Every structure is written in structure tokens, then in C-alpha cells.
Structure 1
Amino acid sequence: MITEFPHAFSPFPLGALTLRNRLVALPAGTSMATDGVPTHGDQEHFERLAAGGVGLIIGGATVVHPSTTLRSRKLVEAYNEEVLPALTEKATAVHRHGAKIIGQLVHLGREFIGGESDSPPSAPSPLKTVRDAYPPHELSVEEIADIVEGWRLSAANLARAGYDGAEIHAAHGYLPAQFMSALTNRRTDGYGGDLAGRMRFLDEVVAAMREAMPDRMVLGVRLSGEEEIPGGMGIEDCVRIARHLAASGAVDYFSITHGTRGTYVKDSTHPDAVAVDSAARVRAETGIPVLVGQRIRDAATADHVVKSGKADLVGMARALLADPDLPSKSAQGRLGEIRGCLGINQDCRAFDPHLHCAVNAEIGRGRHRNVGVRAAEPKDVYVIGGGPAGLEAARVAAGRGHRVTVLEAATDLGGAVRVAARSPHRATLIDVIDYLSAEMRRLRVDVNLGAEISQDDLAELVEAADHVVVATGSRPGPVPSAGRGPAVVTVDDVLTGRIPAAVGRAVVYDES
């Protein structure tokens, strides 16, 4: 394939696997599981990622032991044999589209989310997190052995389901990281003390998983290059850990990230590609293939990372939620058709009730099987309002072959998003408007600006059109009367520069 990103779209040998390109869908759980078993919606999500052109998918949110299962049981339970049919179907669906799939296995340790489990948080030492009121349960040696067995059983189940590999989540302050860090491991037995003692738990997990996995499966370990917490592990610790694991000969790749729970999903206030230099250091020190992700949003960045030799594989999570077809569109030179991630960590982090995306309505709602399919009978569709909702309605309708007209009262498209994008660190919000505006041109939508619609106009449109979509958004409520005091202004007034001259230096923020 001729592409302007030849490095990102070159094949790569990873253990016994051959990946069709260097782009990886990073682990991002869907929370679409019932009683710990993935639903059909979860399978559809991963199949959609595979169809979009990535070389490898790493499935997230897969727990290894009952002691780290949530009360809602919305996380996939790899140790539970009841997951085998669903995991097998998922692997088959991913393989059908030419991608490979690896299951990421995790034990949260003390890092439960708001006490959402019937089991107490557990850790190598009874040291509480800054957000918790009580310390975690200190694991006994017998309990440690049982959790290691959970990892072995989970890896065996992935193998039985036809997965291509497994990844140990040893980053983000989860249980393996809690053992490895001197900040969180104060044990005096064989699982604590010096680095060799603090590595013992992960060494046992690696050995148990390798015993359960056939040679065809690869094994990866995810590590935090920087934990980004006071007293936490940094790049020098990460390198020492990676060297130790590489010397065992049991690990096929490292996945390098930054942060711990609450900080590892980098939003638009962070620079792009934050973990690349850490990945480069691990790659140089170990000679083991390295995967890097975190706020990498396009194939151009991925291509540069691979070309510069800083990593072998480049991962994306939210960028592929925003547009699962990012790989195929990039390879085909259709860059203007890519719906970019805004980096606002809204629907993709709320899991309400499961995975969604602020700019891609398809995510978490099943395959929209009629989207893009030509309608048997094209119709006249009028959309009133040129904000994101109106433009998305116009995009979908025009993509099906309907004759679409957009009517917007303002002199530019975007609605309230155009104002919100003026906020500090939120400039990327305008990306969705740029994308939708470009789609209006590509799909030949008739866009009319400065076209305010009255009630009479609306009545005439309803009579003339096959369908009318009203997407005029909302307006802020009235500003409280200022009386004789200082002028009161709205956030929009500040962002757009419409601040009355009467406003002086005294400012009061109303957070009600």
C-alpha cells in the first residue's frame, strides 16, 4: 500500500505474531459485561476496531481474581470459565478482519473505584491512598499465591479462547506496581525489601502465565515510566524493572505509559505523546520491542515515533473511539475525513452506564448498520441549527444519499462549541466543528449561514420538506439583576470579549 505514513503502516514481527501495521488499539474496557461475561455489544465494539484497520487490539478491564471484581461485575472476569464462549467469539471476530488480539489482565489491589466491591481493597502493605479513609487489607503469603493462580488461570482461558497473547497490567499503581514500589511496599518478608524482593510477585505472575500459555502467544508487561506522584516510581525505576524482566527471556514487549489512577488518561491540558521519551529509554536499555501510547491522536505522530526509533508500536485509545476508521482513512490518504478526539475525557471516562464517546454516537450503542448505507428513496431533509448536533444529523442523512439543507442563524457554524473552544486548554473542541464542516463540503450539503428561521418559516418548511430536524440548542437563563452594583456578565460574555465597560477589577465567581 502506498501511504504517506510508511513506517506506521509497515508490518512488524512480535514474538510468533506478524502484525499488519504498527498501530495498536490500547486497552480500554467497555463495561459492557453482565456477571463478568462480555455482552454482544462488547464484541461488536472490538470487531469495529479491527475492521477499522489497526494491527493489534489489546482488550482492557479484564480482572484475574474475585478479590478485584466490582460489585456491578461490569469488568470481564478472565478467571471465570463462563467467559470462554464470549471471548472465543470476540477473538474470532477480530481475526476475521485481519487484526490480532491480546487480553490485558489486571488486579487493582488497593485502587478500587469508590469502594465498588464486596471485597476489601488489598495491597502488599496496609498503606491507604490519599483518597481513601481506611488502609487496605495486607495480603498474606497464602492470599498472594491464590492471586498468582488467578493470573495463571486467566492466561489459560485466554489461550483456550484463541487470543494471540496476554498483557500484565503492572502500571498505574495497580497491584504489581504496589509490590514493586518502595512507596507502597513496606513488607519485611520475601515479597518486600530490596528490588529483587519487591519484584518477586511479578516474577511469579510472569512464570505462572508462561506456564499456561502456548508458544504461539506473546506476553507483554505494561509499566509506568513515570508514576507522577510524590515518592512514586520514575524512569530509573522503570528501566531497572524492565531490565530485570528482559533478562528472564519471558517477556515479548513492554507497553510504556505515565501516571497512576486518576492521572493516566491525559486530557487536552497535557501535551501530545507524553510518554514517548520514556518508551525510547526502555527500548534502548532492554532491546525488547516497546509499545507507547497516551495522547497520540494521528498517524503522522505514530509514523514519526516509529521512524525516529523511539518505539516499535504506537497505541491509541480515545482517538480510535472517536474514529475507529482512523487507520484505514490514514493509510488511504483520507485525512480530512477523520473525526478527531477532543481529549475532554467526558463520555469515555464516565462509563454511564458503559463506554461512550462525546463525538462518536456509535460507541457503546451497537453498530449503526444503516449509517452510510444508501437510502432506497432519497428525501429532502432540512436541519435548523449549525451546531454539532445539527451538523451530525446532516452528515448522517447526507451520507445516506438524502438531499440535505442546513440553516444557521449565525454567520459561522459551531454554535456553543465555538464559544466553549475559547476556554483555556479547550481549543481542541473546535476540531469537531472543523471535521463536520469539512463533511458538509464533501457530502455537498447546502449550508445557509445568516438564515434565521421564524415560526412562519418553520411552518412552511414542515409543509415543503420530507423531514425537518430542529437542532437550535439552548440559551442561558437570565443574568441576575446587578442593581446599582457592578455589572454581571456571563461566561460567554468573557470568552467572546463582550464584557461591558462597567466591569472593573472586582470579580465574583458564582459556582452555584
Structure 2
Amino acid sequence: MHDDPLLQPYQLKHLTLRNRLMVTSHEPAYPEDGMPKARYRAYHVERARAGLALTMTAGSASVARDSPPVFNNILAWKDEVVGWLRELVDECHGHGCAVMIQLTHLGRRTRWDKADWLPVVSAGHAREPAHRAFPKKAEDWDIARIIGNYADAAERMKAAGLDGIELEAYGHLMDQFWSPLTNDLDAPYGGSLDDRLRFTFETLRAIRDRVGPEFIVGIRYSGDEGLPGGLTKEDGLEISRRLKASGLVDFLNVVRGHIDTDAGLTDVIPVQGMRSAPHLDFAGEIRAATDFPTFHAAKIQDVATARHAIASGKLDMVGMTRAHMADPHIVAKILAGEEERIRPCVGANYCLDRIYQGGAAFCIHNPATGRELTMPHAVPKAAAARRVVVVGAGPAGLEAARVAALRGHAVIVHEAAKDPGGQIRLTARTPRRQEMIQVVQWRFAECERLGVAFRFNSFADGEAVLADDPEVVIVATGGLPHTEVLAEGDGLVVSAWDILSGDAQPGSNVLIYDDAGDYAALQAAEKLAAAGARVEIMTRDRSFAPEVMAMSLTPSMRELQKRDVTFTVTWRLERVRRDGNELLAIIGSDYGGVTRERRVDQVVVNHGTRPLDDVYFELKESSSNRGEVDYEALVAGRPQAVLRNPEGRFQLFRIGDAVAARNTHAAIYDALRLVKDL
């Protein structure tokens, strides 16, 4: 037995959960043809193997054909799902981990032009801003059909051997019936709270009729919409009491807020720079009022907060969902007394933002997550040790050094600056994004633990690298801002980096031309506006900051709109001229035939970076592979064996922005998939 509150077992009905840590239902968008196949299974098994008590799949699995996912979700309305889930469940059970799944009908939170092009259905005609579909108002036969769909799906889940299910009731059809903002129906399914809850309780009774009284059934719901005219905290407490009193559910999974807009979703699932665990106390109030099993997850990133949630009695099970994407081995490290080695979730939300733009969920600094079939979370030793020299201690260089050291190689890192971090040090200068520095801090600590030798203030040229007698050289020198994009006036502009670093002082009337669409322009705008400047962000794109993505954009928008920053899309900066004490910016359009002017005192250009690759090309001809990468071997997970120069004594590679401007995840993934096979 352990004294740690997080390591105490928890009895939920007949199910004994081995500790208090869980991964709440979420959809990483890994299904194939709507099925949780090998990739999906490997993702959950990795966390089960490491000691997690409960993993919840799908956020959410669709119960009906007219609930088409807007990203890649599990289709629980298909019979074939049973076999695939059975494989996942059996393997997780083999590691002592319980498995549940979340079921839903999306209602209006989807689109009519997905899958079978069936009408979107809800309890009223109100459109959801996030997905833009105008729903039909549910008829009696819709309601009866969907209740049957829920029961059918629950029966499939029991047949697959799952330990339980939970129903989704925040932003989806079930609570679209609950909320006065979305339910325009007359009685018996609209009007009073009793009638607005009727659909839910009829659904729960239908499910119980199919799965019996022992199968575990819970519900994840918002106890307070936080919207004028919507469900209040008092409503949420009353609904909670009724759910308990019904005898139809076994646990409550509490959230707070609404998800019909990007901003609302971000408040429910907070991102970087927002308060940690903002709804924990609220969930504790629900538990205190109901004295009923209560689960919760929302930016509980660290073990200390999770431990407090259990020790204080606020929760029975605590969800660390994004944290387990950053490090699936959290429980194993707690058990080993190595909490300080847990890879931190930095709240960058690359995982969720990607799925809402149609991609698969990846962690910004754990590229093995979602790639468990091809990338290791635990890096194996190499057959023989080699001398590896890494040039650059940004995220790519640090990851290369960490993985090489784990492989058992002797590693030296040259870094031109006095500290590690590269571009991330600039990113972290914005107070909202300070958490990003943990990407660097964790890797640097791991490298020091593994005995990596660092040489700071070392602007390494070819001679310095060769003096270390390397067998492998990895160039991770990153890039420098590229601002030479104008037909005239390149010398009159500054870069977003110049603003963030303080190399250029803020102007008072500033035009930011953002032709990269990433964080740098937004962060520069924040700094300029905070200094009192009038700021306009201009882009030739149809939307601004497309690389930042929806949820991560929310805190920036709140800051920039508060400071009256202007956003201009579909216009392109062409020339800048000096005119007295002002700059004259001439802008045009890709659509042609128009020009405009702006008079400002500062022009900032954000156009990504160009590789800082001098040392790479200095060493290229003398290397054995002349810098060449065998892409087939790289993708297949085989060692690099290109030989172009038999006289060469070392292999040479470059990674990250030293190749081309991309992002932090790409840089770290470059390093892991190359070096894991060295």
C-alpha cells in the first residue's frame, strides 16, 4: 500500500480501479474507417502498460448515422466496432487498466455535408457558430430513433467487453435538449426542466434495459453553461441531484462552460497561458452536493494539482488527459519516485487544435504520441556506442542529444548562445507563453542526467566540430528571420523577432505584414500594443494566423481585441518607402488590380526563417553520406547507411529549421526519428 492519495485504489460499483489517475474521453482522430484499429489500440495500451487506472476512448463515438463526425471519430453505430474494441479492451485489461468509452449524438455540433448528407438535428433551429449548420427541429420519430441508437450502441460496447460507458452532454444533442438556449420544443420534450431532461432519462432507461443494472454508465456534462439565458450553476446542481436520484448512472464527470464557439471551447479546456485547473473547485462543489462518484479533467497538468484534487476530496478520479499525451508514463514515474522526470504538458494544445482542423492529435514535444507503432516512448540502447556532435541546442538539437545519449552514445552539444533553447527562448518572452520554456528545461535536465557535454558560447564552425573527432554530426542550428520579401524597401522593415527580442524598439503606428501565419506576428503585436502602439496585422491569406489554430488563438484574440488591434486579410505588402518621418507602405492584392497605402512609423515583417546552415555546407563534402538522407530508411525505421564518400569519417545530418522553417513539433520529430536508429 502507498501513502500517496493518487495511488489509492477506488471502488466504482463492482470495478476496482488501481489508482486515481485516468485519461478522460477524447478523440485523437486515429481511427481508420471509423474503427479503433492498431494505431488507436497502441496509443491506449502505452498508457495502460505504464500503470494508468482507467483509459476512456472516443470523445465521442457516434451512435447514429445522422451524427457524422466532423473529424475522425469512432463509429459506434456500426456492428464491426465490437471486434476492434474487444482487441483494445483485452490488451489494456492485460495490463491491469480499465477501459470505458464515451457515446454521443452530436446534434447540431456537426455539418449536413459530411458522410451521408443527412439533415443535422437538434432540439431547435439555433445554429452552432463553430460548425455553422442550421439544424432541423427534432420530430417525435427522430427522438424515438435516436434513443434506440443510444441503446444499440451501449449494447455493442458491453459486447466488446468495455468496463462502462459515459454519455456526452456538453455541446451535444443531449444537453441541447437541456438548455433553454437550444431547446425550442414544446412539451413533452421542451419547456420545463422536467421536460427538457425527459430525452436524457428515456435514453438512460433504454440503455439500462439493454445492458442491465451492473454495467457501469456515467455522464459527462456541463454543470453551468456560463451563458446568459443558458443553464446556470443552480440548474447544474439540480440536474446533478436528479441524475444521482434516478439510479440510472454510476458516476458524474463534470465540466463547466459551453463549447459552441472557439472561445467557449477554450474556456472549458484551457490552453497555454490560462489558469490551471479552473473548474476543479466547481467539480468539488458538485461532489459535495451529491456525495456521488465525481470525475473531472480540465488543464490539470501536474501531479501536485492532481494529488490535491484527490486528497482534498474534490474528486474521486482525476483526469490528466493532455498530460498523458505529453508523457504516457506518468504513473510509472510516480511509482518509481521520479516525478521530476515527467515530461510536462506545456498547454500548447497542438493536440486538440490539430483535430479541430482535420488532422490527427500530436503532442508538440512528444512526437511518439500517436505514433506508438513506429516511434518509441522508451528509447532502446544501440548495439555500439558512437561519438555524436550536435550543433545547436534548440528543441531539435536537445532532442537529438537526449535520444543519442539514451542510445548510449557519447554526445557533445555546441551552442552559440549562453543558454539552451533557440527560438523557444523568444517564444517564452511573451508572458502567456512562458510555459513553452519547459520544452527546453525538461530536455536539458534529461541531457545533463545522461551525461551530455554542453559547450555554450560556442559558435562552432567546421574546424571546431571536427576537433571533437565525431562519427556522427547533427546540425540543428535553426534559422534566422527572412524579411527580404518586398519589391522595394526591405532595408526599412524589422522582423517580428526584432520586436520580441528588443533589438527594435516599438513604434507608435505599426503595420505588421504576416506572411507566415504563425505565433511570431501575434506575439509581436501583443508587445507593440502593450507599449501603446496602434497596430494593424495584415496578411495576404483569407484568414489570419492559420498556423496558430482555433483554441490557441483565443487568448491572443482576447489580448489583441482589448488593445484595438486591427486585422486585415487578403492584402499583400509590396513596397515600403521613406517619406519624411514616416514610412509609406504600398499594398496590393493577389486578386489583382488594386493598390492602397498606409502611413506608419514602423513596418514589421513576419515571413518565417531561412536555414542557418553554413556549418552544414562546410562539412558536407567531407562527410561519408555528403548530407544525404535515405528517406525510405527513415520512414521505415532503419539506420541511415548512405555512403557517397568512402573517405569520410563521419555521417552528417541536419534537422529542424536548419532544413526549412516548420514548427517545434516537426523539429523534435526530425530528431527522434533520425536518432532513434543511430
Q: Give the TM-score of the pair, scaled to structure 2.
A: 0.71
Matches within 5 A, 1:432-511: 432-457=439-464, 460=466, 464-478=469-483, 488-500=493-505, 504-510=507-513, 511=537
CA–CA distance in structure 1, aligned partners of residues 226 and 480 of structure 2: 41
The alignment partner of 1:76 has SS state of: coil
State the one-letter code of the partner of 1:286. T
The aligned residue for residue 335 of structure 1 is 339
Q: Please report how far the alpha carbon of residue 484 of structure 1 lies from its aligned counterpart in structure 2 after TM superposition.
A: 10
Query: Is 1:371–1:396's contact at 8 Å kept on the other side of the alignment?
Result: no
Q: Please report how far the alpha carbon of residue 216 of structure 1 lies from its aligned counterpart in structure 2 after TM superposition.
A: 4.1
Matches within 5 A, 1:141-160: 141-160=140-159
CA–CA distance in structure 1, aligned partners of residues 297 and 244 of structure 2: 20
The aligned residue for residue 225 of structure 1 is 223
Does residue 210 of the first structure (1) align with residue 224 of the second (2)?
no
Q: Deviation per CA, 1:237-257, whole angstroms, max 9, x where unpaired?
A: 111111111111121110011
State the one-letter code of the partner of 2:234. E
Residues 487, 95 of structure 1: alpha-carbon distance in 2 compared, 3 angstrom cutoff: same
Does residue 353 of the first structure (1) align with residue 391 of the second (2)?
no
CA–CA distance in structure 1, aligned partners of residues 232 and 400 of structure 2: 47
CA–CA distance in structure 2, aligned partners of residues 348 and 396 of structure 1: 26
CA–CA distance in structure 2, aligned partners of residues 485 and 114 of structure 1: 47
State the one-letter code of the partner of 2:126. L
Q: Deviation per CA, 1:322-374, whole angstroms, max 9, x where unpaired?
A: 00111221232212211111112124431353121111101122342484211
CA–CA distance in structure 1, aligned partners of residues 418 and 396 of structure 2: 17
The aligned residue for residue 123 of structure 2 is 124
Q: Deviation per CA, 1:221-273, whole angstroms, max 9, x where unpaired?
A: 11112323343223211111111111111211100112333313210232111
Q: Please report how far the alpha carbon of residue 2 of structure 1 lies from its aligned counterpart in structure 2 after TM superposition.
A: 4.3
The aligned residue for residue 138 of structure 1 is 137
Does residue 365 of the first structure (1) align with residue 365 of the second (2)?
no
Q: Deviation per CA, 1:152-210, whole angstroms, max 9, x where unpaired?
A: 11111111111000001112x11101000111101113111101100011101111222
Q: Please report how far the alpha carbon of residue 491 of structure 1 lies from its aligned counterpart in structure 2 after TM superposition.
A: 2.6
State the one-letter code of the partner of 1:495. L
Matches within 5 A, 1:30-179: 30-60=28-58, 61-70=60-69, 74-112=72-110, 116-117=114-115, 118-131=117-130, 135-171=134-170, 173-179=171-177
Residues 175, 484 of structure 1: alpha-carbon distance in 2 compared, 3 angstrom cutoff: closer
Residues 154, 374 of structure 1: alpha-carbon distance in 2 compared, 3 angstrom cutoff: same
Query: Is 1:384–1:390's contact at 8 Å kept on the other side of the alignment?
Result: yes
Q: Please report how far the alpha carbon of residue 103 of structure 1 lies from its aligned counterpart in structure 2 after TM superposition.
A: 0.8
The aligned residue for residue 270 of structure 1 is 274
Query: Is 2:222–2:257's contact at 8 Å kept on the other side of the alignment?
Result: yes
Match of 1:401 among 402, 408, 411: 408
State the one-letter code of the partner of 2:321. A
Query: Is 2:68–2:110's contact at 8 Å kept on the other side of the alignment?
Result: no
The aligned residue for residue 250 of structure 1 is 248
The alignment partner of 1:177 has SS state of: helix
Query: Is 1:394–1:445's contact at 8 Å kept on the other side of the alignment?
Result: yes
CA–CA distance in structure 2, aligned partners of residues 371 and 302 of structure 1: 24
CA–CA distance in structure 2, aligned partners of residues 252 and 71 of structure 1: 30
State the one-letter code of the partner of 1:408. E
Residues 241, 381 of structure 1: alpha-carbon distance in 2 compared, 3 angstrom cutoff: same
Query: Is 1:45–1:363's contact at 8 Å kept on the other side of the alignment?
Result: yes
Query: Is 1:235–1:278's contact at 8 Å kept on the other side of the alignment?
Result: no
State the one-letter code of the partner of 1:136. P
Does residue 423 of the first structure (1) align with residue 430 of the second (2)?
yes
State the one-letter code of the partner of 1:183. L
Query: Is 2:123–2:177's contact at 8 Å kept on the other side of the alignment?
Result: yes
CA–CA distance in structure 1, aligned partners of residues 421 and 33 of structure 2: 42
The alignment partner of 1:475 has SS state of: strand
Match of 2:293 among 289, 292, 305: 289
CA–CA distance in structure 2, aligned partners of residues 486 and 425 of structure 1: 31
State the one-letter code of the partner of 1:477. H
State the one-letter code of the partner of 1:135. F
Q: Please report how far the alpha carbon of residue 69 of structure 1 lies from its aligned counterpart in structure 2 after TM superposition.
A: 2.1
Matches within 5 A, 1:382-401: 382-401=389-408
Does residue 307 of the first structure (1) align with residue 315 of the second (2)?
no
Q: Please report how far the alpha carbon of residue 417 of structure 1 lies from its aligned counterpart in structure 2 after TM superposition.
A: 0.4
Structure 1: 5+ residue runs without aligned partners? Answer: none
What's the RMSD between the two structures over aligned residues?
A: 2.4
Residues 454, 163 of structure 1: alpha-carbon distance in 2 compared, 3 angstrom cutoff: same
CA–CA distance in structure 2, aligned partners of residues 131 and 348 of structure 1: 15
Structure 2: 5+ residue runs without aligned partners? Answer: 514-536, 540-678
Residues 370, 175 of structure 1: alpha-carbon distance in 2 compared, 3 angstrom cutoff: closer
Q: Deviation per CA, 1:267-310, whole angstroms, max 9, x where unpaired?
A: 02321111112211211221211011100012211111111111
Query: Is 2:70–2:110's contact at 8 Å kept on the other side of the alignment?
Result: no
Residues 450, 148 of structure 1: alpha-carbon distance in 2 compared, 3 angstrom cutoff: same
Q: Please report how far the alpha carbon of residue 487 of structure 1 lies from its aligned counterpart in structure 2 after TM superposition.
A: 6.8
The aligned residue for residue 380 of structure 1 is 387
Q: Deviation per CA, 1:120-163, whole angstroms, max 9, x where unpaired?
A: 32101111123565521111111111111111111111111110
**What is the aligned residue count?**
504
The alignment partner of 1:241 has SS state of: helix
State the one-letter code of the partner of 1:32. Y
Residues 115, 490 of structure 1: alpha-carbon distance in 2 compared, 3 angstrom cutoff: farther
The alignment partner of 1:206 has SS state of: helix
Query: Is 1:32–1:38's contact at 8 Å kept on the other side of the alignment?
Result: yes
Q: Give the TM-score of the pair, scaled to structure 1.
A: 0.93
Determine which structure has more spread, i.e. the larger CA radius of gyration: 2
Q: Deviation per CA, 1:364-409, whole angstroms, max 9, x where unpaired?
A: 2234248421111111211111011111111112112111111111
Matches within 5 A, 1:12-23: 12-23=10-21
CA–CA distance in structure 2, aligned partners of residues 325 and 347 of structure 1: 18
The aligned residue for residue 660 of structure 2 is none
The alignment partner of 1:103 has SS state of: strand
CA–CA distance in structure 2, aligned partners of residues 190 and 395 of structure 1: 62
Residues 329, 114 of structure 1: alpha-carbon distance in 2 compared, 3 angstrom cutoff: farther
State the one-letter code of the partner of 2:128. T
CA–CA distance in structure 2, aligned partners of residues 137 and 187 of structure 1: 11
User: What is the percentage of aligned positions where both structures have the same residue?
Assistant: 34
State the one-letter code of the partner of 1:302. A
The alignment partner of 2:473 has SS state of: strand
CA–CA distance in structure 1, aligned partners of residues 398 and 376 of structure 2: 20
State the one-letter code of the partner of 1:304. H
Q: Which segment drifts farther, 279-288 or 173-182?
A: 279-288
Does residue 27 of the first structure (1) align with residue 34 of the second (2)?
no
Residues 468, 489 of structure 1: alpha-carbon distance in 2 compared, 3 angstrom cutoff: same
Query: Is 1:225–1:275's contact at 8 Å kept on the other side of the alignment?
Result: no
Q: Please report how far the alpha carbon of residue 454 of structure 1 lies from its aligned counterpart in structure 2 after TM superposition.
A: 1.8
Q: Which segment drifts farther, 30-39 or 80-89?
A: 30-39
Q: Which segment drifts farther, 270-279 or 158-167?
A: 270-279
The aligned residue for residue 232 of structure 2 is 234
Q: Please report how far the alpha carbon of residue 85 of structure 1 lies from its aligned counterpart in structure 2 after TM superposition.
A: 1.2
Residues 299, 132 of structure 1: alpha-carbon distance in 2 compared, 3 angstrom cutoff: closer
State the one-letter code of the partner of 2:455. N
State the one-letter code of the partner of 1:33. P
